[in-house]
């Protein structure tokens, strides 16, 4: 069984950009977003994946990911996914021995920037000192889950 151990944070400023080691665009949609599981189809670069995530307990949750043909993923995103497609650019940053993923969202989630740090079950320590560009932790706030953002986009919540 695969487990994902991660924490998610709001990003305060653009200082993270000087730590970027790679970047890629992501398009993802959801086939299921119920409270016990979500099923996501994701395309990044020339690869596509089907991911099933179980309910999380704090920062730990079951995750199963399988590579699928990109044409299948495109069909699912265009014809089978619920609500809105989530589009973002993921920037991988290396800071003090840890890899951070900074997601810059587009379209209906424009303006949202989140950072995630994922650790393996073998290395169960998160960094003790966070980079200065890391803000409030939102790991357990559903409003920042990608599945939630696909139904309740960031810009719909933040319009005046």
Is residue 123 within a helix (H) or strand (E), and if so which, with residue range? Answer: none
Yes or no: say if 39 and 31 are a contact pair by the CB < 8 Å rule. Answer: yes
Nearest to 86 by CA among 30, 46, 35: 30
What are the residue numbers of the active site?
30
Look at residues 159, 139, 113, 155 and name the one whose alpha carbon lies nearest to residue 12: 113
Which 3 state secondary structure label does DSSP give 128? coil
């Amino acid at each position: 069984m695969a487990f994902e151990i991660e924490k998610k944070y709001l990003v305060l400023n653009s200082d993270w950009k000087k730590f970027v080691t790679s970047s890629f665009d992501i398009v993802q949609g959801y086939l299921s977003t119920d409270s016990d599981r979500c099923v996501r189809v994701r395309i990044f670069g020339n690869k596509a994946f089907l991911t099933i995530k179980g309910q999380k307990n704090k920062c730990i949750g079951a995750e199963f990911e399988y590579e699928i043909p990109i044409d299948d993923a495109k069909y699912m995103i265009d014809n089978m996914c619920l609500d809105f497609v989530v589009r973002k650019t993921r920037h991988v940053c290396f800071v003090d021995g840890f890899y951070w993923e900074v997601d810059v969202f587009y379209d209906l989630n424009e303006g949202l920037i989140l950072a995630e740090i994922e650790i393996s079950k073998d290395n169960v320590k998160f960094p003790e000192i966070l980079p200065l560009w890391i803000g409030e932790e939102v790991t357990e706030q559903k409003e920042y889950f990608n599945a939630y953002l696909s139904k309740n986009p960031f810009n719909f919540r933040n319009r005046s």
